[in-house]
Structure 1
Amino acid sequence: MSRANVSAEQLKLFIERIETLEEEKRGIADDIKGVYAEAKSNGYDVKTMRTIVRLRKMDENARAEMQALLETYKSALGLEG
């Protein structure tokens, strides 16, 4: 896109939309931190909860592959059980 084709108003609107979304993202991140803090104050292990959230996001096949590899590594290191 050449400089002549750049619409200052359109560019400004894109930038403002991005800034608004970034602000909302920060707010959501703060909300998530608050939920983890609340869970921690109720005795839950936040590190484990984060792992569970990450696992639930994964595709079932990817999760199974990761679990199999983890078991293989644990076995190789004598960590079964």
Structure 2
Amino acid sequence: MTDTTTETAATTTTTNDVGGIAADQLRSFIERIERLEEEKENLSNDIRDVYAEAKSTGFDTKIMRQLVRLRKMDRDDLAEQDEILELYRRAVNV
């Protein structure tokens, strides 16, 4: 009986492992990634819709995108970037 259990367990392990890879675990990772990719696409569409709505009310979406990017930055990095930009603008009389 022990041999049958071991054989059954070995068979089960063999069907789940393909070429030394845990097929069920790999499939699970792939499915999770696919679901997240789908969610990401939906979020991208929602963001695009918000920009379109803002544009239809007269906002400049190019500037809005810059503001979103700037708000993500660390305050120290932003201050440094502003200083360098100001220095360069003075250098070229802008």
- TM-score, structure 1 as length reference: 0.92
Map of 2:41 onto structure 1:
26
Larger-gyration structure (1/2): 2
Bigger relative contact order (CA 8 A; separation at least 6): 1
Q: Partners of 1:73 and 1:34 in 2: how far apart?
A: 36
Q: Partners of 2:91 and 2:50 in 1: how far apart?
A: 37
Q: Partners of 2:82 and 2:60 in 1: how far apart?
A: 21
Deviations 1:1-57 (A, max 9, x none): xx42x1101100000000000010000000000000000000000000000000000
Q: How many residues align?
A: 76
More strand by share: 2
Percent same amino acid among aligned pairs? 54
- Moved beyond 6 Å, runs of 4+: none
Question: In the alignment, does 2:75 pair up with 1:60?
Answer: yes
Q: CA RMSD in A?
A: 0.6
- TM-score, structure 2 as length reference: 0.79
Q: Partners of 2:42 and 2:23 in 1: how far apart?
A: 29
Runs of 5+ consecutive residues of structure 2 not aligned to the other structure: 1-18
